[in-house]
Amino acid sequence: MSADSFDPKPAAEQIDAICLRLFDSWCDSRNVISLTFLLRCWPLISMDAASLRRLCNTLGELRESNGNVLDEKQAELLAELNQCIDDLQVHAPEDRAIIRQSRDRAWATSKLLRLCRIEP
């Protein structure tokens, strides 16, 4: 599959589904330490590279510093989550797209301000 035909939506949905399963598991077992790590970076507002890196890094910290609080299934889910994030980052748009979106948003905001006759 080429990078041009890659659809990130299934991977994004899978990331959310894994996080939800971890959340439910840690709520059921009252694993406050793991919940604290997860809730620092999830739910994701967007699937941009920075958010995915934060999720991956934060849960990596959990594994490194408190791996003993994870059962085997949770450790497997974290490994699967890392793989999904890696898959998305390989095919993620370049930083130019983010810059373009920011520029487009600035243009739209300035246009709206002019239409409303509001001076910045």
d(CA 115, CA 109): 10
- Does 14 fall in a domain? yes
Boundaries of domain holding 61: 3-93
Q: Which pLDDT tens digit goes with each residue over 49-96?
A: 888 999 999 999 999 998 888 999 999 999 999 998 888 775 555 544
Count the alpha carbons within 13 Å of 47 in the hemisphere toward its beta carbon.
19
- Indicate if the alpha-carbon torsion angle 7, 91, 18, 44 is positive or negative: negative
- Does 32 fall in a domain? yes
- Indicate if the alpha-carbon torsion angle 110, 116, 117, 120 is positive or negative: negative
- Does 63 fall in a domain? yes
Query: What is the percent of the chain with per-residue pLDDT over 90, rounded to a whole number?
Result: 47
pTM of the model: 0.68
d(CA 104, CA 8): 22
- Does 60 fall in a domain? yes
